[in-house]
Structure 1
Amino acid sequence: MNHTDQAFNAIALLLSFAAIGSYVNHRFIRFPQTIALMALSLSLSLIVVFLGTVEVIDPVLIKDTVASLHFDEVLLHGLLAYLLFAGALHIKFDLLRGVLGQITTLATISVLTSGVIAGGLFWYIANLLGFQVGFIHGLLFGTLIAPTDPVAVLGILKRAGAPKTLETTMAGESLFNDGVGVVIFLTVASVAFTGTDPVLSDVGAFLLLEVGGGVLLGAMLGWLAFLLMRPIDDHSVEVLLSLAIVSGGYALAIALHISGPIVVVVAGIIIGNKARSMAMSDVTRDYLDNFWELIDDILNAVLFAFVGLEVVAIQLDWDYALLGILAIPAVILARLISISIPGLTFHFIGLVPFDRNVLAALTWGGLRGGISVALALSLPDSPERDLLVTASYIVVVFSVLVQGLTFGRLVQKLFPR
Structure 2
Amino acid sequence: MTLYDTFSILIVVSAMFAYINLRFIKLPSTIGLMLIAIITSLILFVVATFFPVVMKDTTKLLHNFDFSELLLGSMLSFILFAGAIHVKASEMKKERFSISVYVILGLLLSTFIIGTGLHLILPLFHLHVSYVQCLLFGIIISPTDPIAVLAILKEAGIKKSTETKITGESLFNDGVAVVIFLTILKIANHSKELLWWNIGLIFLREAMGGLLLGVVIGYGAYLLMKSIDNYKVEVLLTVAVVMGGYTLASKLGLSGPLAMVAAGIIVGNKGRVSAMSDNTWNYVSGFWELIDDILNAVLFVLIGLELLVIPFSTNYLILGAISVLVVLTSRYISIWIPGQLTRLQGRYSRSSVFLLTWGGLRGGISIAMALSLPKGLHNHLWVVLTYMVVVFSIMVQGLTIDKLAFKLNGHSEAEKEIK
Q: TM over 0.5, yes or no?
A: yes
Q: Give the CA deviation at 1:59.
A: 5.5
Q: Which of residues 385, 392, 405 is equivalent to 1:411?
A: 405
Q: Deviations over 1:294-324 (max 9, x none)?
A: 1111111111111111111221222212211
Q: Give the CA deviation at 1:11.
A: 0.9
Hey, what's the Cα distance between the residues in 1 that align with 2:9 and 2:38?
15
Q: Which amino acid aligns with 2:237?
A: L
Q: Give the CA deviation at 1:199.
A: 2.5
Which residue is equivalent to 1:375?
369
SS of the residue corresponding to residue 382 of structure 1 reads: helix
Q: Which of residues 165, 169, 185 is equivalent to 2:161?
A: 165
Q: Which of residues 54, 63, 66 is equivalent to 1:70?
A: 66
Q: Which of residues 155, 175, 178 is equivalent to 2:148?
A: 155
RMSD, aligned α-carbons = 1.7
* Unpaired runs of at least 5, structure 2: 415-419
Q: Are residues 353 and 299 of structure 1, via their aligned partners in 2, closer, same or farther at CA, if it must alter by over 3 Å?
A: closer
Q: Any residues of structure 2 matched to 1:269-348 within 5 Å, and which?
A: 269-347=265-343
Q: Is the 8 A contact 2:98 2:342 kept in 1?
A: no
Q: Deviations over 1:9-54 (max 9, x none)?
A: 1111111111111111111100111211111111111111112222
Which residue is equivalent to 1:268?
264
Which residue is equivalent to 1:121?
117
Percent of matched pairs sharing the same residue: 42
Q: Any residues of structure 2 matched to 1:225-244 within 5 Å, and which?
A: 225-244=221-240
Q: Deviations over 1:154-190 (max 9, x none)?
A: 3321332132211111111111112322232223223
Q: Which amino acid aligns with 1:369?
A: G
Q: Any residues of structure 2 matched to 1:4-403 within 5 Å, and which?
A: 5-55=1-51, 57=53, 61-149=57-145, 153-161=146-154, 162-196=158-192, 198-347=194-343, 350-352=344-346, 354-382=348-376, 384-403=378-397
Q: Is the 8 A contact 1:160 1:409 kept in 2?
A: no
Q: Is the 8 A contact 2:152 2:401 kept in 1?
A: no
Q: Pick which of 350-359 and 389-398 moved more.
A: 350-359
Relative to the length of structure 1, the TM-score reads 0.93
Hey, what's the Cα distance between the residues in 2 that align with 1:61 and 1:317?
24
Q: Which amino acid aligns with 2:15?
A: A
Relative to the length of structure 2, the TM-score reads 0.93
Q: Which amino acid aligns with 2:129?
A: V
Hey, what's the Cα distance between the residues in 1 that align with 2:72 and 2:377?
24
* Unpaired runs of at least 5, structure 1: none
Aligned residues: 408
Q: Pick which of 128-137 and 42-51 moved more.
A: 128-137
Hey, what's the Cα distance between the residues in 2 that align with 1:157 and 1:337?
21
Hey, what's the Cα distance between the residues in 1 that align with 2:346 and 2:80?
28
Hey, what's the Cα distance between the residues in 2 that align with 1:214 and 1:353?
29
Q: Are residues 294 and 281 of structure 1, via their aligned partners in 2, closer, same or farther at CA, if it must alter by over 3 Å?
A: same
Hey, what's the Cα distance between the residues in 2 that align with 1:383 and 1:319?
18
Q: Are residues 239 and 353 of structure 1, via their aligned partners in 2, closer, same or farther at CA, if it must alter by over 3 Å?
A: closer
Hey, what's the Cα distance between the residues in 2 that align with 1:353 and 1:159?
22
Hey, what's the Cα distance between the residues in 1 that align with 2:324 and 2:95?
29
Which residue is equivalent to 2:417?
none
Q: Give the CA deviation at 1:82.
A: 0.9
Q: Which amino acid aligns with 1:119?
A: G
Q: Is the 8 A contact 1:10 1:69 kept in 2?
A: no
Hey, what's the Cα distance between the residues in 2 that align with 1:46 and 1:383?
27
